[in-house]
Amino acid sequence: MSTALTRGQHSIREKREKKFVPADGDETFDTDRIARQLTTVGFERSGATFEKSQQVLLDAGSDRSDWDGEPGNPTVLTVTLSEEALKIEAKDVVGIVTLLPGVTIEIEPKIGWNGLIDMLLTVLDVPAAEEPYTMPTGTDDERSVDPADVIVLLAINYHRGIDRISRQGLIRDIIVERSNSYRGTGTIDLGQTLRNHAKGEPVPNWIRSRPEYNNPVNSLLHFAGKQLLYFLKQEVSEARISDRRIVRVFNDIYDDLKYLERHGITSKYSDLGEYARVSTHSLPRQRRYYQRALYVAQSLLTSSLFGRGDDGPQRLHIDYVLKMEPFFEDYSHAVLERAVDQIREQDPIGVLDDITCVAQKRIRPFKKLHGQNVHHRPDHLLMEDERTIAVLDSKYYQEGSNPARESKSRSRLFTYAYLQQTGQLAFLCPLATPWSGTVAQTDAEVAVVTPTTDEFNHEAYQAAVQGYVRGVLFNRYPELEVFELLEKPNTQLCIDGRLEAPFEFLYDTDEGAPFSIARPDWFADDAVRALVRSTSVFRTDLEGEGQVLRRRLKSVLTREDENDQRVYPQHEITCIPVYRLPEVSADSDNRSGASLGRLTLFFLQRPDEAGEPTMATKEEVWIR
């Protein structure tokens, strides 16, 4: 479908194409004139094809891309020009790009602007809001990004730029001051002091050097910070300002301004002309870490944010680009770290203390062969100390796709798993189709982790990632299932209640330990006593006043296999008994039911070798 090429803003989805035809009754384009206009706004020509490369406004919140001043800005838009049509193709970036003078292209994220801003706030490590964060829609075009959302984008990027500057140092001038005084600070200039004596003024001459930070570059950053605070107050609605995540962004900008002011940096409108002459290209190479913050400052300086148009609400004329693949990778890593932290909260004995998520770990496949490209970098590794539990690869794929079907992606993931010696592999995708499979040759498990919703949703993606991480960790540490079960209502640990921290003895097989089955009769007696003492079950409710349950428990504990060997070796395995109240429907009467609940017995055996997963078995014993 073709669209008339008119002035204003047009929309296209990332990694899609769009065809424009002449407007105002013209049958053909003036290709020479349009070619000149394309080159004027930064396109590079190759025959009938034009490509525009642009610096990335955000690099996914990390410092590993092009903000160090190295060349290599990504191609954001490709134009094919003919007399009949002008075709554009958007790459895997989102943002606003100038196509022609007076014509801008809004490249929309396939995950939606709502999902994109949620991703940004997650990467920034902003706590989740109490209320869902929603994006306002425009009255003219509901798909267009609201100016307030771009302000949040700029503010996040500004804060990260100032944060890096604070770590690496502000640009400064050294001011040398001299004074004649009997009480001074600094160092004494002996030559000038002697000349003072010769003139009949026996006063020491002092030299003092002090840093001066209030230069045009830093003043521009201060000016931009003040404008961001103003726009956050003016353009972001009251409902969204109450969102704790937006408040965090506001406070970060405020703290950045205070940091600059503590170094004596100020700014004023009368110096706008001087600020306009500041260029990132004039920075010394060792100061290229200024580029991120300066890019935002210059964008604000040259945009229409500084006034409203005559035709109503202002329009943003900031060319900004966000490269989605590395951004989604950093977003996924933030979600992974949050998932591990949430699961760690269910671990009272610290089995997950050494679990970490590692991003972009450099893996060298050879012992003696080194070089710039002789290494691999998996997107994410789930690790326990130096041992890899799972390897995960972020894939910003199209809707409904399965990266396991693509040879290149599959081979890369298999390489990572082989080098890290793990059997748990996963692709993290925003809009794919959930899938899991087993590798025929190695029995490794491969999963495509993605939300099950039709459209991208931050909460759904977070739940999908947490579900996968939970499955991997619970499979390796099945004792976590015990702790999770005990967090649920109507459950009770059936052991001696006098112990304050019984799980400290979780793997202790000595006779006196709370979970030891070295004496099955003792274990069965303790479990029944704890059941009667700690739950709503009375001894008289039990068949044979508990004797039948004791025999049933002892039978489970002493069961033998076909070789007459204990299924649960009493000096190698511990058992955790958890009582679970029966589920009673609203229209039933529990007093008429035959079951009083059940005891879930978790049998745990620590592996002989360090780093191997815990072996576990679960059995149910019904209470009657």
Question: Which tokens sit at 331?
Answer: 């977003």
Q: What is residue 260's predicted lDDT score, i.e. its pLDDT?
A: 93
Binning pLDDT at 50, 70 and 90, where does residue 65 land?
very low
Question: Which tokens sit at 605?
Answer: 């055996």
Phi-psi region of 318 (alpha: psi -120 to 50; beta: other; left: phi over 0): beta
**Mean pLDDT lowest among 118-122, 242-246, 511-515, 584-588:** 584-588
Of the candidates 297, 368, 317, 355, which has an alpha carbon nearest to the alpha carbon of residue 147?
Answer: 317
* Most confident option among 25-39, 61-75, 319-333, 609-623: 25-39
Binning pLDDT at 50, 70 and 90, where does residue 318 land?
low
The rounded distance, in Å, linking the Cα atoms of 606 and 573 is 8
Tens-digit pLDDT profile for residues 431-444: 888 999 999 888 99
Q: What is residue 243's predicted lDDT score, i.e. its pLDDT?
A: 59
Distance of CA 274 to the CA centre of its chain: 38
Q: What is residue 593's predicted lDDT score, i.e. its pLDDT?
A: 45
In which residue are the tokens 């498990």 written? Answer: 445
Q: What is residue 75's predicted lDDT score, i.e. its pLDDT?
A: 83
Q: What is residue 368's predicted lDDT score, i.e. its pLDDT?
A: 76
Evaluate whether 97 touches 320 at the Cβ level (below 8 Å). Answer: no
Q: What is residue 313's predicted lDDT score, i.e. its pLDDT?
A: 34
The mean pLDDT of 170-196, rounded to a whole number, is: 77
Q: What is residue 19's predicted lDDT score, i.e. its pLDDT?
A: 92
Provide the angle, in degrees to the nearest 10, between the axes of the packed helices 458-476 and 324-344.
50
Distance of CA 372 to the CA centre of its chain: 28
Q: Write down the mean pLDDT value for the chain.
A: 79
pLDDT greater at residue 583 or residue 125: 583
The mean pLDDT of 387-405, rounded to a whole number, is: 85
Tens-digit pLDDT profile for residues 358-377: 888 888 888 777 777 777 88
**Mean pLDDT lowest among 49-63, 146-160, 270-284, 590-604:** 49-63
Given a cut of 70, is residue 245 above it in pLDDT? no
Given a cut of 70, is residue 123 above it in pLDDT? yes
Q: What is residue 391's predicted lDDT score, i.e. its pLDDT?
A: 94
Given a cut of 80, is residue 60 above it in pLDDT? no
Binning pLDDT at 50, 70 and 90, where does residue 380 land?
very high
The rounded distance, in Å, linking the Cα atoms of 81 and 20 is 10
Q: What is residue 590's predicted lDDT score, i.e. its pLDDT?
A: 44
pLDDT greater at residue 97 or residue 611: 97
Produce one character per residue of 585-594: b if its CB has 16 or more CB atoms within 10 Å, e if not: eeeeeeeeee
Evaluate whether 303 touches 317 at the Cβ level (below 8 Å). Answer: yes
The rounded distance, in Å, linking the Cα atoms of 526 and 515 is 10
